[in-house]
Structure 1
Amino acid sequence: MALSPHVPDLSSLELLVTVAGTGSFGAAGRELGLTQQAVSARIRTIERLIGVPLVQRTPRGSRLTDAGRLLVGWSTPVLNAAAELDAGIDSLRERRDGHLAIAASFTVAEYLLPGWLVALAAEQTAAARPRTAVHLAVHNSDQVIAEILDGTTELGFVEGPDLPPGLAHQVVARDELVVVVPPGHPWTRRAPDVAALAATPLVAREAGSGTRRAYERAVSPADPAVELSSTSAIRSAVLAGAGPAVLSDLAVHDDLATGRLIRVRVHGLVLTRDLSAVWADGSTPTGPARDLLRIATRRR
């Protein structure tokens, strides 16, 4: 049912009830954070809207007319119901904001998300808001995308350029893939060209991994020597002599700095990729998901 155009909004009703309770425009203004002039102007606006006088100014303050007293009586249960509605909405928001389910690819989960989540918790503490309980599922990029599309997860983070229909996305970081071998490997003395790299079976992530997909888009590779489902397992296999690997610079930064692994620079090959936040197309991240997305984007 459409309301009459003569029905004041809730803030106007609250103002009138406050004037009735305090007995003056000045006191009502102090209680609501308004100037006396603003209160007077608002009351005149309400009277024009309704079409009858509501407040009579006297030397000893302001008192309601008979119509004003009637309106205050009718307004009080409306304002009480609005307060209950407001409390219910706050409860829904607290329930939503109290938990956040996200999914992330291995590289993002291991090397970027921890810092983002620490920053989210710090923001909430500084704003005196309850800290969000985060449930993180770590998958390869294809599995993360599947969780977003079936509605299991509100926000995901994936690697690589291939995003199916039904997703909205935003780039949050850029990453470089590097060819790595153990010390003493022949490629540390003579780097291969792209053709030789493509012909060499590598220690690789499983199908569906963003790292593997990015490499396969740039190079038509031989079948892997071995497939492993985690970056740490691949690093161990490379060190054990199972073969070279292509890994994120984020994942092997410390190994390269200490010399445990050696980067091989292949002439003519640069492997970079976007790391993206993804969510269901047509929706917008809200609450903690929105805050986490902002933090991730800010730290690009």
Structure 2
Amino acid sequence: MDDLLRAPRSLSVAASLTIADHFLPLWIRTYVENGNDPRLLHSRSTNTREVVRLVSDSVVDLGFVEGSEPPKGLRYKFIAHDELAVYVAPGHPWAARGHISPWTLAGTPLVTREEGSGCRAVILAALQQHGVLPSEFAPPALELTSNTAVLEAAAANVAPIAISVRAAASFLRDSRLVRVGIDRTVFRRELGAIWGNSDVPQTPVARALLLAAETAGGNENQVPKHRQDSSRLDSRR
């Protein structure tokens, strides 16, 4: 019985699809290299909105989300940055043009992830910062529930997409997609960890995975000035 009481508690984790596919494996590898047991981790992938709900409802212990702002009422820790970009099939007219305006992008139906996706929210927010009005946004050409499905649809020339550069890397390398520049616009989002109302995650396993994620980071691991207080409850939303 004493051994059972001393046994480390397992950790339930939820991550957005992009993080689950392209960042979480690296973080888990670092977690294991730090001497921790991967058998204690139980993860699931979904969209950012659902990750927030799962953490808020205490269904999972730790979440990893995408976006420009931390969710209200949860603790947040910046982990890394992720860049988004617009891609089209080689036969699409934008491929020859090379770049378009934010208004052209906003007015074009895109293949997108479902509502609640962190990628979709970041694109809409960035375009609005450039003066694009909500009324100027075209409805999606097609909504899909996975990044792979979105990429395959774009490669089939269904419609343009806006997605993480990491997710699109193999399609770009194989010349199945072409990146299109957006005038004076960069789509950049934060990836972060969220948990309940405590200064740090409550279990040793959660703290170990969070440390591994911070150590490994992503494309870059420079904490923005407004995120340096990692345990502060966000009060701006």
TM-score above 0.5, yes or no: yes
What does the per-residue CA deviation read over 1:56-86, in whole Å, with 9 as the maximum and x for residues that have no partner? xxxxxxxxxxxxxxxxxxxxxxxxxxxxxxx
CA distance in 2, matches of 1:297, 1:137: 20
For residue 211 of structure 1, what is the aligned residue in structure 2?
119
**CA 1:149–1:122 in structure 2 vs 1: closer, same or farther (change >3 Å)?**
same
- Alignment check: 8 A CA contact 2:30 2:213 kept: no
CA distance in 1, matches of 2:71, 2:34: 33
**CA 1:148–1:187 in structure 2 vs 1: closer, same or farther (change >3 Å)?**
same
For residue 83 of structure 2, what is the aligned residue in structure 1?
176
For residue 108 of structure 2, what is the aligned residue in structure 1?
200
- Alignment check: 8 A CA contact 1:100 1:132 kept: no
CA distance in 2, matches of 1:299, 1:130: 17
CA distance in 2, matches of 1:120, 1:299: 9
Q: Give the structure with the larger helix fraction.
A: 1
Unaligned runs of 5+ in 2: 128-133, 218-237
Q: Please state whether the residue corresponding to 1:195 is helix, strand or coil.
A: helix
For residue 159 of structure 1, what is the aligned residue in structure 2?
66
1:95 CA drift (Å): 4.1
For residue 92 of structure 1, what is the aligned residue in structure 2?
5
CA distance in 1, matches of 2:7, 2:200: 18
- Alignment check: 8 A CA contact 1:166 1:281 kept: yes
- Alignment check: 8 A CA contact 1:121 1:132 kept: no
Residue-pair matches, total: 207
Q: Please state whether the residue corresponding to 2:58 is helix, strand or coil.
A: coil
- Alignment check: 8 A CA contact 2:141 2:159 kept: yes
Structure 1 stretch 256-265 or stretch 162-171: which is displaced more? Answer: 162-171
1:233 equivalent in alignment to 2:149: yes
One-letter amino acid matched to 1:169: Y
1:166 CA drift (Å): 1.9
**CA 1:91–1:245 in structure 2 vs 1: closer, same or farther (change >3 Å)?**
same
4+ residue runs over 4 A deviation: none
For residue 3 of structure 1, what is the aligned residue in structure 2?
none
1:164 CA drift (Å): 3.1
Q: TM-score, normalised by structure 2?
A: 0.82
For residue 44 of structure 1, what is the aligned residue in structure 2?
none
Q: Aligned runs of 1:46-85 on 2, under 5 Å?
A: none
1:296 pairs with one of 206, 209, 213? 213
- Alignment check: 8 A CA contact 2:62 2:194 kept: yes
1:148 CA drift (Å): 0.6
**CA 1:122–1:179 in structure 2 vs 1: closer, same or farther (change >3 Å)?**
same
Between the two structures, name the one with larger relative contact order (CA 8 Å, sep ≥ 6): 2
Query: Which structure has the larger Rg over C-alpha atoms?
Result: 1
